Amino acid sequence: MRPTTSAFKQEFLKKWLVGLKICSSSVNNMNIVQRKKTIKLSADVAMASARDGKTLWSRALIAKASKQDDDNNKIIVEKILGDDKFQRVITYNNSEHSSNGSFTRKKVLRRSRSLRWKRKCMAPPSQRVLATSIAKRLVVKKKAQVLKTLVPGGESMVDDISLLEETLDYIFSLRAQVDVMRRLVNASNEVSENCK
Protein backbone atom coordinates (compact mmCIF):
# COMPACT_ATOMS: atom_id res chain seq x y z
CA MET A 1 0.00 0.00 0.00
CA ARG A 2 1.35 3.36 -1.02
CA PRO A 3 1.57 6.20 1.50
CA THR A 4 -0.40 9.38 0.92
CA THR A 5 1.20 11.78 -1.49
CA SER A 6 1.78 14.54 1.04
CA ALA A 7 3.27 12.18 3.66
CA PHE A 8 5.59 10.68 1.06
CA LYS A 9 6.65 14.10 -0.21
CA GLN A 10 7.40 15.32 3.32
CA GLU A 11 9.45 12.21 4.13
CA PHE A 12 11.30 12.49 0.81
CA LEU A 13 12.07 16.18 1.33
CA LYS A 14 13.32 15.59 4.87
CA LYS A 15 15.68 12.81 3.75
CA TRP A 16 16.76 14.64 0.60
CA LEU A 17 17.73 17.74 2.58
CA VAL A 18 20.06 15.54 4.66
CA GLY A 19 21.72 14.42 1.43
CA LEU A 20 21.93 17.97 0.10
CA LYS A 21 23.64 19.16 3.29
CA ILE A 22 26.32 16.54 2.80
CA CYS A 23 26.66 17.57 -0.86
CA SER A 24 27.04 21.24 0.06
CA SER A 25 29.76 20.48 2.60
CA SER A 26 31.94 18.80 -0.05
CA VAL A 27 30.97 20.98 -3.02
CA ASN A 28 34.41 22.63 -3.21
CA ASN A 29 36.06 19.34 -4.17
CA MET A 30 33.58 18.55 -7.00
CA ASN A 31 33.17 19.62 -10.58
CA ILE A 32 29.71 20.26 -12.04
CA VAL A 33 29.24 16.67 -13.33
CA GLN A 34 30.15 15.16 -9.96
CA ARG A 35 27.82 17.60 -8.21
CA LYS A 36 24.96 16.64 -10.55
CA LYS A 37 25.54 12.92 -9.93
CA THR A 38 25.70 13.45 -6.18
CA ILE A 39 22.46 15.43 -6.12
CA LYS A 40 20.73 12.76 -8.22
CA LEU A 41 22.10 10.02 -5.99
CA SER A 42 20.86 11.76 -2.84
CA ALA A 43 17.43 12.32 -4.43
CA ASP A 44 17.14 8.66 -5.48
CA VAL A 45 18.27 7.33 -2.10
CA ALA A 46 15.92 9.72 -0.30
CA MET A 47 13.04 8.60 -2.52
CA ALA A 48 13.80 4.93 -1.91
CA SER A 49 14.33 5.50 1.79
CA ALA A 50 10.99 7.31 2.05
CA ARG A 51 9.36 4.03 0.96
CA ASP A 52 11.09 2.45 3.98
CA GLY A 53 12.22 -0.66 2.12
CA LYS A 54 8.66 -1.87 1.55
CA THR A 55 9.15 -2.26 -2.19
CA LEU A 56 11.64 -4.25 -4.21
CA TRP A 57 12.60 -1.27 -6.36
CA SER A 58 13.49 0.82 -3.29
CA ARG A 59 15.68 -1.93 -1.80
CA ALA A 60 17.38 -2.47 -5.17
CA LEU A 61 18.02 1.25 -5.66
CA ILE A 62 19.56 1.62 -2.21
CA ALA A 63 21.64 -1.52 -2.64
CA LYS A 64 22.99 -0.26 -5.96
CA ALA A 65 23.84 3.13 -4.45
CA SER A 66 25.58 1.57 -1.46
CA LYS A 67 27.74 -0.65 -3.70
CA GLN A 68 29.36 2.30 -5.46
CA ASP A 69 33.09 2.72 -4.92
CA ASP A 70 32.94 6.45 -4.19
CA ASP A 71 33.33 7.08 -0.43
CA ASN A 72 31.34 10.30 -0.64
CA ASN A 73 28.37 8.39 -2.11
CA LYS A 74 28.54 5.81 0.66
CA ILE A 75 28.53 8.60 3.24
CA ILE A 76 25.43 10.11 1.63
CA VAL A 77 23.63 6.76 1.62
CA GLU A 78 24.62 6.05 5.21
CA LYS A 79 23.52 9.48 6.50
CA ILE A 80 20.17 9.40 4.68
CA LEU A 81 19.37 5.86 5.83
CA GLY A 82 20.89 5.91 9.29
CA ASP A 83 23.36 3.34 10.61
CA ASP A 84 21.00 0.42 11.26
CA LYS A 85 19.24 0.59 7.89
CA PHE A 86 22.55 1.05 6.10
CA GLN A 87 23.91 -2.19 7.59
CA ARG A 88 20.76 -4.07 6.53
CA VAL A 89 21.01 -2.72 2.99
CA ILE A 90 24.63 -3.76 2.61
CA THR A 91 23.58 -7.37 3.12
CA TYR A 92 20.87 -7.10 0.44
CA ASN A 93 22.17 -8.55 -2.78
CA ASN A 94 20.49 -7.29 -5.92
CA SER A 95 20.88 -9.94 -8.60
CA GLU A 96 21.64 -8.44 -11.96
CA HIS A 97 20.71 -10.28 -15.11
CA SER A 98 21.71 -9.14 -18.53
CA SER A 99 19.58 -9.93 -21.49
CA ASN A 100 21.35 -10.72 -24.71
CA GLY A 101 19.37 -9.30 -27.58
CA SER A 102 19.90 -10.67 -31.05
CA PHE A 103 20.13 -8.34 -34.00
CA THR A 104 18.77 -9.19 -37.42
CA ARG A 105 19.26 -7.49 -40.71
CA LYS A 106 16.40 -5.58 -42.28
CA LYS A 107 16.35 -7.76 -45.40
CA VAL A 108 15.96 -10.95 -43.41
CA LEU A 109 13.29 -9.34 -41.27
CA ARG A 110 11.33 -8.11 -44.30
CA ARG A 111 11.55 -11.51 -45.97
CA SER A 112 10.36 -13.31 -42.86
CA ARG A 113 7.46 -10.86 -42.50
CA SER A 114 6.35 -11.39 -46.09
CA LEU A 115 6.55 -15.17 -45.66
CA ARG A 116 4.52 -14.98 -42.48
CA TRP A 117 1.93 -12.82 -44.22
CA LYS A 118 1.57 -15.38 -47.05
CA ARG A 119 1.27 -18.24 -44.59
CA LYS A 120 -1.25 -16.32 -42.51
CA CYS A 121 -3.47 -15.62 -45.51
CA MET A 122 -3.45 -19.29 -46.56
CA ALA A 123 -3.96 -20.67 -43.05
CA PRO A 124 -7.45 -21.73 -41.88
CA PRO A 125 -9.28 -19.27 -39.54
CA SER A 126 -8.65 -21.29 -36.37
CA GLN A 127 -4.88 -21.23 -36.96
CA ARG A 128 -5.01 -17.48 -37.67
CA VAL A 129 -6.71 -16.85 -34.31
CA LEU A 130 -4.15 -19.04 -32.55
CA ALA A 131 -1.27 -17.25 -34.30
CA THR A 132 -2.69 -13.87 -33.33
CA SER A 133 -3.06 -14.97 -29.72
CA ILE A 134 0.53 -16.22 -29.59
CA ALA A 135 1.78 -13.02 -31.23
CA LYS A 136 -0.03 -10.89 -28.63
CA ARG A 137 1.48 -12.92 -25.79
CA LEU A 138 4.95 -12.50 -27.29
CA VAL A 139 4.47 -8.74 -27.56
CA VAL A 140 3.38 -8.56 -23.91
CA LYS A 141 6.36 -10.69 -22.91
CA LYS A 142 8.78 -8.40 -24.79
CA LYS A 143 7.25 -5.30 -23.22
CA ALA A 144 7.53 -6.89 -19.78
CA GLN A 145 11.23 -7.56 -20.43
CA VAL A 146 11.76 -3.90 -21.35
CA LEU A 147 9.88 -2.83 -18.22
CA LYS A 148 12.11 -5.06 -16.10
CA THR A 149 15.14 -3.13 -17.33
CA LEU A 150 13.57 0.24 -16.46
CA VAL A 151 12.45 -0.49 -12.88
CA PRO A 152 15.24 -0.95 -10.30
CA GLY A 153 15.26 -4.59 -9.21
CA GLY A 154 12.93 -5.50 -12.06
CA GLU A 155 15.27 -8.18 -13.38
CA SER A 156 14.58 -10.34 -10.34
CA MET A 157 10.78 -10.14 -10.68
CA VAL A 158 9.30 -13.22 -12.32
CA ASP A 159 5.62 -12.44 -11.79
CA ASP A 160 4.06 -9.92 -14.20
CA ILE A 161 1.56 -8.73 -11.59
CA SER A 162 4.26 -7.87 -9.06
CA LEU A 163 6.23 -6.20 -11.86
CA LEU A 164 3.25 -3.97 -12.67
CA GLU A 165 2.63 -3.18 -8.99
CA GLU A 166 6.30 -2.25 -8.47
CA THR A 167 6.27 -0.16 -11.65
CA LEU A 168 3.18 1.75 -10.55
CA ASP A 169 4.70 2.41 -7.14
CA TYR A 170 7.98 3.51 -8.75
CA ILE A 171 6.13 5.91 -11.08
CA PHE A 172 4.16 7.29 -8.12
CA SER A 173 7.42 7.90 -6.26
CA LEU A 174 9.14 9.49 -9.26
CA ARG A 175 6.22 11.87 -9.77
CA ALA A 176 6.35 12.90 -6.12
CA GLN A 177 10.12 13.35 -6.37
CA VAL A 178 9.81 15.59 -9.43
CA ASP A 179 7.04 17.62 -7.78
CA VAL A 180 9.09 18.24 -4.63
CA MET A 181 12.20 19.13 -6.63
CA ARG A 182 10.23 21.50 -8.85
CA ARG A 183 8.71 23.25 -5.82
CA LEU A 184 12.14 23.55 -4.18
CA VAL A 185 13.60 25.14 -7.33
CA ASN A 186 10.66 27.54 -7.64
CA ALA A 187 10.99 28.52 -3.96
CA SER A 188 14.73 29.13 -4.30
CA ASN A 189 14.15 31.22 -7.44
CA GLU A 190 11.58 33.34 -5.58
CA VAL A 191 13.97 33.86 -2.68
CA SER A 192 16.81 34.88 -4.99
CA GLU A 193 14.54 37.32 -6.86
CA ASN A 194 13.36 38.87 -3.59
CA CYS A 195 16.97 39.32 -2.43
CA LYS A 196 17.87 41.37 -5.52
State the residue range of the domain holding 160: 5-95+145-195
Query: 118-126: long-range contacts at Cβ-Cβ below 8 A with a sequence spacing of 24 or more?
Result: none
Identity of the residue numbered 10: Q
111 domain residue, yes or no: no
**Total tally of structural domains belonging to the chain:** 1
- Half-sphere exposure of residue 179: CA atoms within 13 angstroms, side-chain side: 12
125 domain residue, yes or no: no
Number of C-beta neighbours around residue 26 at 10 A? 14
pLDDT tens string 132-161:
888 888 888 899 899 999 999 988 888 888
**Of 77 and 11, more confident:** 11
107 domain residue, yes or no: no
pLDDT tens string 36-87:
888 888 899 899 988 887 889 988 888 888 777 766 677 778 788 876 665 5
105 domain residue, yes or no: no
100 domain residue, yes or no: no
d(CA 92, CA 60): 8
**Of 19 and 107, more confident:** 19
**Of 65 and 129, more confident:** 65
Eight-state DSSP code of residue 69: S
For residues 152 and 64, is the Cβ–Cβ distance under 8 A? yes
122 domain residue, yes or no: no
Identity of the residue numbered 65: A
CA 19, 4, 7: angle at the middle one, nearest 5? 35
50 domain residue, yes or no: yes
d(CA 182, CA 96): 32
